[in-house]
Every structure is written in structure tokens, then in C-alpha cells.
Amino acid sequence: MRVLVCVKRVPAPGAKINITADGQAVDTAYLAFTTSPHEECAVEAAVQLVEAHGGESTVLTLGPAAAEEQLRYAASVGVTGCVLLPIDVADWDPQRTAAALTEAIRTIEATDGTFDLVLFGNESADSGNFQIGVRVAHALGRPMVNGVKGIEIDGDSVRARREAEAGVEVYVLPMPAVLGVKEGINLPRYPTMKGRLNAKKVAVRQLTASGEPGGQQMVTLLQAAEQVSETVILGRGADAASAVVDLMEELGLSK
Amino acid sequence: MSEQTVPSRATVVVIGAGIVGNCLVGHLSRLGWTDMVLLDKGPLPNPGGSTGHASNFIFPTDHNKEMAFLTVESQNQYIAHGLNNTCGGIEVAREPQRMEEFQRRMTSATAWGIDARLVTPAEIKEMVPFINDEILLGGYYTPSVSVVDSLATGTLMREGAVAAGHLSVFANTEVLDLETTDVPGGLPKITAVVTDKGRIEAEHVVVACGVWSPRIAAMAGATIPLTPAVHQMADVGPIDVLVESNQELAYPIVRDMDTFCYERQSAGSMEVGSYAHRPILMRPDDIPSNEASALTPTELPLTYDDFEPQMEQAIELMEMLGDAEIKYAINGLLSLTPDANPVLGETVEVRNLWSAAAVWIKEGPGIAQLVAEWMTYGYPHMCDPHGSDISRFYPHEKTEWHINARCNEHFNKTYGIVHPREQWASQRGIRRSPFYAREEALGAVFFDARGWERPQWYESNAELMEKYPEACEPRTHEWDARWWSPITNAEHLQMRASVGMVDLTAFNEFDFEGPGALGFLQYMCVNNVDVAVGRSVYTPLLTPHGGFRGDLTIQRLGDDHFRVITGAFDGGRDNYWFRKHLPTDGSVTFTDRSQGICTVGVWGPNAAATMAKIVTDHTTAPYDLSQEGFPYGAVRDVIIDGVPCTMFRISYVGENGWEIYTRMEHGLKLWDAIWEAGQEFEICPVGIGVYAVTGRIEKGYRLMGAELESEYDPVEAGLARPKVKSADFLGKEAYLKAREEGPAAIMCTLSMDSQRCADGYDRFPTGGNEPILTLTGERILDAKGRVSRVTTAGAGPSVGKYLLMAYLPPEHAVEGTKLQVMYMNERYPVTVERAGATPLFDPADARMKS
């Protein structure tokens, strides 16, 4: 089977993220970059699907030239093809991004054949627009399910499972189909040293990113209020015992 | 600043709770410091500095005595805490040169008493079954190699001081400023540390901030010359064979020396580290804050482009690494200094502001003790910090330019094979004497002396080798011949036969003037400096506990005017030592005249005849250069071809002659005048190869940093005068005690009876701490536990022997005694030629005084 994964280069989590003085971008001076967590799972799902059913997997991104790092990361864990849609900025608006991805998918499919599955992350870790996959599926005229936490191939169709408040929803989609994958579907593997070295040799295909700006405009970025956790010292040594007991009772940890 | 939550006053504030700061407060507590504060900007137990991500292993062998001692001492301290996990370690060779380096390592291990042995690829495979022995030539195995828990050790040391009631600890506390106060007539003094939790008045402040040290020191106007630099490391696993071992460290650590990488087991995975990538230097201000760091500030994301070649080499060595997942990979920051040594001691700019920086885990606890002793006693007792002393740096060596150039050059030598005479390639031509153009034209091969370009030998003297063929044999082994030329021996013999001239501009000259000058220098010096005007004195400077702190000559230029002449390598340290002790009452002024004065030495049987042609007094009358009119040790102002000069009848090479000083702008004229006058005597430009090695060793002259260290006293060095002056002086009490007790070791000159190696050619020890052994091959320790080792080695062309200097215990320090020296892991027979200061060449010093 042929599987495509669309990923996005985003700042690595874990550190406080600063915003540039003009409010137009994330200050990247100290930041590392990564693939959004949902998309890491999508990459892992693609690799597992190809391992189980044969075929090939491709990773596609729209982003700055440096996003090649995220493509090679996907290659280092087993994705076999890399396609980059380079743009001059970190990000395009969702409409434009979806249009560019759709166009790129059509271009690739015209020569290489249709992708049975196109996988997205449920949403990106930075802008979190929750819509790229839906827009692309709609444009391609393919069925789409978001929030997917289980994928099974059954002949020409795919069974997608997702968690709902009331229980578990199972969808059966004819392929080609589009799925938005959610973290927890699998545990993404780390690259191995050999994987890293192999990824270095994988050719990155470049296509021109096309698409008109959409309606959504970023006005400014704002720093989220810092979550301050106040440390309360209950006491030291034996003196703290009664305060600890009170607290545990308050938390319902002791009776 | 929020409300004051730190104490308002402390005797000492230590900034930085890494391995150094933690161990330092522990050692200070043990030494009686009872009122300390330890601060760190980050959280405990891992504030986010280099300690937190260190690979924590210790390979004890080091060619450098100071670092070898401190490493073994540190390992012992980790052992005492029960936090030393011995796993053994193998350095493996892929290249033939590395196998030779292992012979040298065996020699150093013998000197320091470290158990080590050479192993074959098959033996390596037996210890490390997953290694690819087919690409290996052999290994150097050290059973005592260990992994230590530096965070836990630091915590124990810190908590020990807290438990003793001597220390308050404040994590998450940022230093905002260091306050100083001006001291009239002296250096500014540290007064307070300003933090985001209040201001602490402090008598002493220690900067133990690792990669951030320069930034913190700068708050007080002081300089700590180091740069943060990247060391790449990846943790890969799980790996079945390691998981199945069910141990943290079941296999020896492997250092893949020729690829500059290491592989160290960490339970089920392997840490792969590299010193092979391009040097990646940072500025302290560019290190992210704790908040802006995904991991910690010193664990930056690995840049894979730099690491990929090392991954290939690692997989080549251990194939299983290729399929293991990279779980953790960092560009870890550590501190590099221009000469790769730590930066320790009181800063030269601010009194009571101390540096304890650029320290690795392997030497952390020992160095913490050393700095604690330094702060407590005025100088460390455990060993001489000569190579780590912060005051060693000259101004140009403290610039970011210099730091970066040298660190870029030496980073890839971390696992390199570095020759004892190795020369720097970067930052050359920084300081040149006025004679430089002439020297260059004479084919000088320049060596670096703290920035000075000094001719080591002159290619123009190659012809002289035909005159002295038996002394100018080439050396067979490339290692022995590296950074060396047989021309040195020809220069030596020509100087002894006629006359030679030596560029000594790298000397430092310090002037002391004022009514307190005599009293001050009497206090600083062992020997009596109250000599007649126009006379001089050689003297040791002692530490408070009576070891060598310096040695130099002092000229009395007037009743209240003295000039100190000291060498290039210790000029910075001597400058600091004098200024530190200078009275602040204005009775003595200190002036460093080094930048304005150039020096040329003229020595040999025809030195006087050469100089007689051109030296006059101020009236153009010929100057009396006779031994009677101008005796040994005298200093005179003269005119040489119209140039005002000062001549000093002295010699470090054992020949009659002078050091001649003039102002820099007169230098070329002086050089030309001497050169021309000497032509009829075939005057020879002589390099430092003669001055510092062959000429010196034949005369048994001691050198600071080689024979003279704080671990030895003047009695042992053979430099004690028959009488002790009545005036008090620094170290006097200890010196009197040393004279009473007698020496535990005596500085000796030895000759090699045979230099023939097993392969049938002669070898030439470099003077790099080669151990002296008994005839049965035992290393020799004196009553104070100090090992007998070669401090200087060199040819003695005039005595026809290859000479070594070494301290020997009295039972061996007997002329005629037969011993052995180990060089490159082979033993050679030696004979004790001289015990004490009597020279081998011209023992009566008749040549200098005729």
C-alpha cells in the first residue's frame, strides 16, 4: 500500500517559548524543532502499516527549508520518501496550506500513483487550527475521520477507531481515505544510529508550494500567562507531620 | 529585588552548586570555615550546569603531574563517599602512533603508581565481547577506571557543611551583581553579592559557575578566561547484551582514541560521546536560561550533521550500536580554557574574589580541596597549582579572541597525542622582540613563550653542525626528534667555544621603588636583598608553608629602587604575587616595565672581547669590563654604540657574559652592534634550546615549574644558602624547619648510561615526568610520598652525555648510584652524576668568572 504522512515543523516543547518583540513570530534563538506529537504518531502508524502490509510511505511538509530536518527525522524511523514544499516563512494560513498540500498530493499521485491513505496529525502543536486534514480530504473528495486512535486495513477499506465520550466509535472508510491521527495510537520509536545515517542519504523531492492566501490572518502572538506554582513549605522534619496529615486528609488520601 | 531571604552577611559566598561549588563548601567546612553561603541560579540537586549531564567517568592516567595527582585524589574522595563504581577502562588504538602513545601512557602510569597494562585485540574482545577487534591494533587497560556519582557526591559534601552548621544553601537564586570597594594603593576588594533574594556582604566570593564563570566574574571587573564549548553525547538503547548484564556497568568503558570517541555502558544502554566534531564554542551570555531550556541550559539539542561521522565510527567499532534507538542526544556544554587547564585561585583584578572554574568531574573534589586550602592557608598544601593558577595568563591571553583561537585549536586534541614540546599554530606573532626581523632572516625556528616568538634554534647555524659532527647526530625516532633540531647542540658548542647571543626579550622586569621597597622585598624573598647599589641577588620566593612560589633575580638600581627579572612563563604569576602582597600605604610603587624593555644575552669565552669593542661610558671612554671592574652579579649602565643600556653580569648557561637590556626602540641597533662586533669571533645566534635546556642542564640550573614547585623547598632543591638572613620573610618559619629537618629528597643530575632501545637505536627522553626506577624496577618514593621523576631532560653536548634532572631520596641521591629511567615503557640505565646544585659542567663556575 501507499501511505502519505503530512507533518509540520514546530518548536520543541519543554522550554518556555518566547515571542519576538514585534509579536509576529516565536523567538527561535534557543529553540530546537520537532514534529508535532500527533504527527510523530502518524509517522509511526505509516511505518507500521508498510511494515505489516508492504508498500511504501512518504512524508510531506510545507515549511521553511529547515523543515528538511523533520523530513529526515521521519526517514530515520523508516519513511522511504521525502517531499518538501518550501516557503519563506515559518507558516501559511490553514486555507493556503491545505491548498498547497492538495496540489502537491495531486502532483505526486499523477506520476507515482494514488495514496491509499493520507495521514495527518489531529492538529499541529503550535497553531492548532484543527482543519488542514479536513480541508485536504474535502478538496481531494476523500472520506476523512479525525481523532483516530486505531487503524486496521481490511482489503480495500480501512477501519478507523476513535474514542468518544460515550465509548468507542469505529468507522469503515473506503480507500483512498484521509485520517487525522491522535497521540496515543502508538508509541513512536526513536531513530537508531543506522536510521539516522540512512536518512542522510534519502533524496528530498522539492515541489513548488502554491495557493492563495486564505481568510485567516495572524494579528499578533501573545505570551501565555505564566503558570506559577506556589511552593508551600509545610515544615521540616517531624514538625511537618501534622500539616502533612491535614493535607492528605484534604486531598482525600487518608481517612 | 524581592524581600531579603538570604543572610545579609557571610564570610564566604560560593556561587555555583556543581561538583566544584558543592565539594568546595564541604572542604572549607572541614578546614574551619563556619559562616558560608552557597548560591545557585538553578534548582537542586541539578542546577543545570555541566555537572548534571557529565558522563562521570574517570580515566586516571595523565601525563601532566598536577592533573594526574588531582584526578587520583578526586577518585579517592569519590571512593570515600562510596560513590565510585569501578568498571575498568580500555583505550583502544586503530593507528600505529596510538600504540606508541600507549607506551608513553604506561610510563606515566608507572610514575603515578596507576595499575595499567597493554592488551591485545583478543584480550579486548574478551573483556568487551561486542567490540570489533578486527579494526584494533591493541589497547591500554586501566582496571581502576570508574564511573562516579558527581551529583550525589556534591550533595553529600554540601549537606555535610549544612549539618555542621557552617553553610546556608540557596537554590533558584540568581546573582545580579558583585560589589567591590576600591582600596587606595591596592587592588579593589570584593564586598558583597547582590542576588534576587537580597544582598550578602561577604569577605570572600568564589566563582564556581562553570560555563557561566566569565559572566559572573565580569560583574566585579575580573576575568575568568574560558569559553563554553559543545561536547556531543548520545544515549542509545536498549541493547540486549547490556540489558541482560543486569548491571549499571558490566563492561569496561571503551575510549576509541583515534576517532576521539567513547562508549560507556549506562545500564541497558550505551553512552556514545565525541571530541571529534568541529569545535563549537558559545558565549556565556548566549546560553539559555533554565526556563528557556527544554532539558537544562547546558544540554542543547544535538546537531546531527556534526555527529554523523562519529556514529559511523561507533557502529564500525560496535555494530550493535547501529540498531539501538537514540533516546537522548545533546550538545552538552563544558568549559574550555586557552591551554586546557583549569582556572583556579584569586582573580588578579579583585582581592578575595576566587575562581574555581573549568574543572572536569574527574578532578572536581580534589580541586575543591586545593582551592579550599588555598583560601585557608594562602597557598595549597596538597600540590602545586602551577599549571592551573589563574594568574598565569597575560592580558592578551584573556581576550575572547585568544580563548577562541586556542580552544578551536586544542578541542580536537582532547584525545589527541600531544608532544611535550608541541607548539601552538594559532595566535602566533602576538609578541615580537625588536630583533625579530634579524632572527627571521637568520632562519630562526620560533617557539611560543606566552605569546612571545622566541628563536628555538637558527637554521643559519646548520653549517656549524659540520664543525661538531659527533654532537649533532640526528635522532632516529621521529617522536624524539619532533620539535627539536641537532642545530641546538651546534649552537651550544659554538657558544662555549667562542660567543653566542640569545634573545631574552620575553623576560619580565618589575620595578619596586620607594622608601618601603627594601623592606617589602626582604619580606617577599628568602635571600638578603639588602645588597649594594649596582649589585644583584638570586632568590627563591616561598609559599607560606615553605615551598617554592617563584625564583628570580633582583637588581638593586638605587637605595630605594629594585628591579626584578623573571621569566616569560612565570611572569604573570610573579606579577600577581608581588602585587597581592604590596603594602597599601604608598611606601612602595610597583611598575611592570616588561613591555618597554628588550634583552639580549651575550655569553662565551669571547663575550668580553666582543663587548669591549662597543661598550663605553657616557663620555665615550671604553668601559672597564674586567672581572675586577665589573664583577659577576654587578649591574651597570653603559652606552653601546650610542644606545643607553644596562649590563648585568650573570649567566644561566655557565659562560662569562651579560644580560643586556635596553628600551624596545633601541633594540635593533643594539642587536646590530653586538652582531657586528662579534663577527671576528664568529658570533653565533643561539636559541632557547641552548638557553633553557642544554646550557642550563649542564649547569644544573633549576627552572620554576619544572624542578621548583611548591611541593619542594630550597633545601631539597639545593638552593639553601649557608646562612638565613635575620629579616623576617614569607615562609621563613617553614624554611627554618626544613633546614633543621633536612631534605626528604635532593635535586640530582643524572646521566643515561645507555640510550639504546630494544629496537637497536638510541632514544631521548623528553623530560615529561619519566619515572626513575631502582635497578629492580621499583618506582622511588621519598619519605613525603613524592615520586622521583624526570623534571628536565636534555643533551649535554659539552659533557658528552644525555642528562636528566630528578629529585631522589637521600639514600639514592649519592653520586655514582646506578638507577634506571623509564621512557616509552622501556628501562634505561642511569647514573647519579650530581646530588645537589653543583654543576656537572665546570663545577667551580670558573668560566663565568674569568
Evaluate whether residue A210 is within a structural domain. yes
The pLDDT confidence band at residue A219, using thresholds 50, 70 and 90, is: confident
Residue B232 Cα, gap to closest chain A Cα (Å): 14
Across A139-161, average pLDDT: 96
User: Which residues of chain A make contact with B325, given a CB cutoff of 8 A?
Assistant: 189-192
Yes or no, beta carbons of B294 and A14 under 8 Å apart: yes
pLDDT at position A13 over 80: no
Which residues on chain B are in Cβ contact (under 8 Å) with A193?
234, 236, 311, 314-315, 321-324, 326
Residue A18 has pLDDT above 90, yes or no: no
Compute the distance between CA of residue B10 and CA of residue B14 in angstroms, rounded to an integer.
10
> Above 50 in pLDDT, residue B53?
yes
The answer to whether B326 contacts chain A (CB < 8 Å) is yes
Q: Given the C-alpha cell 599554530, which residue does it identify? A: B425
Tell me what pLDDT residue A134 has.
97
What is the longest distance spanned by two Cα atoms in chain B? Answer: 92
- pLDDT digit string, tens, across residues B75-125: 999 999 999 999 999 999 999 999 999 999 999 999 999 999 999 999 999
Residue B728's nearest CA partner among B523, B554, B551 is: B523
Q: 3-state SS string over B363-419?
A: HHHHHHHHHHHHHHHCCCCCCCCCCCEHHHCCHHHHCHHHHHHHHHHHHHHCCCCCC
User: Is A84 domain-assigned?
Assistant: yes
Minimal-distance CA residue of chain B relative to A226: B291
User: Comparing C-alpha atoms, which of B157, B209, B223 is closest to residue B356?
Assistant: B209
Q: Give residue limits of the domains in chain B.
A: 508-596
Q: Which residues of A touch B234 (CB under 8 A)?
A: 193
In sequence order, which residues have a C-beta less than 8 Å from that of residue A102 and are 6 or more positions away? A135, A136, A139, A140
Residue A141: which pLDDT band, with cuts at 50, 70 and 90? very high
Q: Are strands B353-357 and B198-207 parallel, antiparallel or unpaired?
A: parallel
Is B295's CB within 8 Å of A12's CB?
no
The verdict on a CB contact (< 8 Å) between A15 and B293 is: yes
pLDDT band of A243, cuts 50, 70, 90: confident
In a domain, A201, yes or no: yes
Domain holding A152, by residue range, is 2-226
Chain A partners within 8 Å of B312 (Cβ)? 197
CB count in 10 Å sphere of residue B546: 25
Range in A125-129, B502-506, B587-591, B787-791 with the lowest mean pLDDT: A125-129
Task: Give domain status of residue A254, yes or no.
Answer: no
| CATH number of the domain where residue A119 is located | 3.40.50.620
Quick one: pLDDT band at residue A255, thresholds 50, 70, 90? Answer: low
Best probe of the B interface among A16, A190, A193, A236, by most B CBs < 10 A, is: A193
- Give the per-residue pLDDT at B729: 98
Q: Which residues of B185-211 are buried (b: 16+ CB within 10 A; e: fewer)?
A: eebbbbbbbbbebbbbebebbbbbbbb
CB contact (8 A) between residue A192 and residue B236: yes
Q: Are B630 and B624 in contact (CB under 8 A)?
A: yes
Region A69-83: what's the mean pLDDT?
96
Three-class secondary structure assignment of B14-61? EECCCHHHHHHHHHHHHCCCCCEEEECCCCCCCCCCHHHHCCCEECCC
What is the pLDDT averaged over residues B220-246?
A: 97
Chain A residues close to B315, C-beta within 8 Å: 193-194, 197
Q: Which B residues in the span 294-323 are in contact with A, Cβ-Cβ below 8 Å?
A: 294-295, 300-301, 304, 308, 311-312, 314-315, 321-323
List the beta bridge partners of residue B57: B147
| Contact (CB, 8 A) for B385 and B373 | no
Burial pattern A176-215, b for ≥16 Cβ within 10 A else e, equals: bbbbbbbbebbebbbbbbbbbbbbeebebbebebebeeee
Are the beta carbons of A14 and B311 separated by less than 8 Å?
no
Q: pLDDT at position A233, please?
A: 79
DSSP state of B469: G
Using the Cα atoms of residue B440, residue B442, residue B448 and residue B451 in order, give the sign of their dihedral: negative
| pLDDT number for residue A227 | 67
Structure confidence by residue, pLDDT tens digits, B457-473? 999 999 999 999 999 99
Put simply, the answer to whether A32 touches B322 (Cβ < 8 Å) is: no
Chain A: which residues have CB within 8 Å of chain B?
A: 12-16, 18, 29-30, 32, 189-194, 196-197, 200
Amino acid at B104: R
Residue A221: pLDDT band (50, 70, 90) is confident
Cell numbers placing B33: 570555615
Per-residue pLDDT of B726-758, as tens digits, reads 999 999 999 999 999 999 999 999 999 999 999
- Give the β-pairing of B452-458 and B444-449: antiparallel
Q: Which of residues 233-272 of B touch A (CB under 8 A)?
A: 234, 236
pLDDT of residue B1: 46
Residues in chain A with CB shorter than 8 Å from the CB of B327 are: 190
DSSP E strand stretches across B680-739: 684-685
Using alpha carbons only, what angle is made at residue A133 by residues A132 and A137, rounded to the nearest 5 degrees?
A: 120
How far is A13 from chain B, CA to nearest CA, in Å? 7
| pLDDT attached to residue B849 | 85
Comparing CB atoms, the residue among A14, A191, A194 nearest residue B315 is: A194
Considering chain B, what is the average pLDDT of its residues? 97
Lowest-confidence pick of A235-239, B281-285, B697-701: A235-239
- Per DSSP, B666 falls in state G
- In terms of Cα–Cα distance, which of A119, A133, A16, A139 is closest to A74? A119
Q: What global pTM score does this model have?
A: 0.93
Q: What is the 3 state secondary structure string of B356-373?
A: EECCCHHHHHHHHHHHHH
Answer whether B88's CB lies under 8 Å from B127's CB: yes
Using a CB-CB cut-off of 8 Å, the residues of chain B touching A12 are 294, 301
CATH superfamily for B508-596 is Aminomethyltransferase beta-barrel domains (3.30.70.1400)
Question: CA-CA distances (angstroms) from residue A68 to A22, A25, B287?
Answer: 27, 20, 26
- pLDDT-derived band at B850 (thresholds 50, 70, 90) equals confident
The average pLDDT across A224-229 equals 71
> Exposure of B483 by Cβ count < 10 A (0-12 exposed, 13-18 middle, 19+ buried)?
middle
CA dihedral B430, B433, B438, B444 (to 10 degrees): -60
For residue A15, pLDDT over 80 is answered with no
- B531: helix, strand or coil: coil
Contact A192 B322 (CB under 8 A): yes
Judging contacts by C-beta atoms under 8 Å, the chain B residues touching residue A30 are 288, 292-293
Rounded CA-CA distance B253/B89 in Å is 4
How many domains are contained in chain A?
1
How far does the CA of residue A20 sit from the closest CA of chain B (Å)? 14
How many other C-beta atoms are found inside a 10 Å radius of the C-beta of residue B413?
A: 13
Mean pLDDT of B607-627: 94
Tell me, yes or no, whether A252 lies in a domain: no
Q: Quote the pLDDT of residue B2.
A: 54
Rounded-to-integer distance, Cα A66 and Cα A70, Å = 8
Number of Cβ pairs < 8 A linking chain A and chain B: 56
Q: Do B308 and A194 touch (CB under 8 A)?
A: no
pLDDT digits (tens, 9 = 90+) for A160-179: 999 988 899 999 999 999 99
Nearest to B326 among A14, A190, A200 (CB): A190
CA distance B270 to chain A (A): 12
B326, A192: Cβ pair inside 8 Å?
yes
Look up residue B716 and give its three cell numbers.
631539597
Residues from chain A contacting residue B236 (CB–CB below 8 Å): 192-193
Kindly report which listed range (B22-26, B619-623, B685-689) carries the lowest average pLDDT score.
B619-623
* Contact list, A15 vs chain B (CB under 8 Å): 288, 291-294
If phi > 0 it is left, if psi is from -120 to 50 it is alpha, else beta; for residue B836 that is: left
Torsion of CA A42, A45, A50, A56, to 10 degrees: 0
